[in-house]
Amino acid sequence: MSASGEWQYGPGPDVMAAATLDGNKVVTADGEHVGKISDIMLDVRSGRIAYAVLSEGGFLGMGTTLHAIPWSALTLNAGEKVFLVALMADEIKNAPGFDKDHWPPMADPQWGSSVHEYYLQQPYWIATRDVVEGRSSGL
């Protein structure tokens, strides 16, 4: 819905193709550009976005560190094509990372819980369950 209260036609800041978000910069709370979104990871069973993968550093893909950031930890500024994350640059740089040839077990709840805890977020699968249970008990 636009500022005037009318619905916009076509894709926009509320519903977008995932591919349009690839390459968007990620900026920290202290204003530092720490990398770009390289992938958006879907939880196929729940139909939710689980993580955005931040590509940090490197040159032409060499030496690049990847970080899985919980989707809930990011705020999109669609006009600037930038994601904001409420951590400082050093916290992102020191976050658990991986390389393109050694991805973590993203479906493992123990791994996912540790990542969500680092970013001070409730795991998305718990938030989903709470919404579903709240909705079903309220009917």
Distance CA 17, CA 109 (A): 27
Query: What range does the domain containing 35 cover?
Result: 18-134
Contact 62, 69 (CB under 8 A): no
Over 70: is that where the pLDDT of 61 sits? Answer: no
Any idea what the CATH number is for the domain that residue 29 is in?
A: 2.30.30.240
Q: In this predicted model, what pLDDT tens digit does every residue of 81-101 receive, in sequence order? A: 899 999 999 999 899 899 999
pTM of the model: 0.80
Task: Flag whether 139 is in a domain.
Answer: no
Q: What share of the chain is helix, strand, coil (3-state, %, to 5)?
A: 25, 30, 45
Q: Assess if residue 33 is contained within a domain.
A: yes
**Cα diameter, the chain:** 54
Residue 13: which region, alpha, beta or left (left: phi > 0; alpha: psi -120 to 50)?
A: alpha
Q: Let me know if residue 3 belongs to a domain.
A: no
Rounded Cα distance between 57 and 124, Å, is 27
Asked whether residue 8 is domain-assigned, the answer is no
State the total domains in the chain.
1
DSSP letter for 43, please: E
Which tens digit of pLDDT belongs to each residue from 122-137?
A: 998 886 555 445 554 4
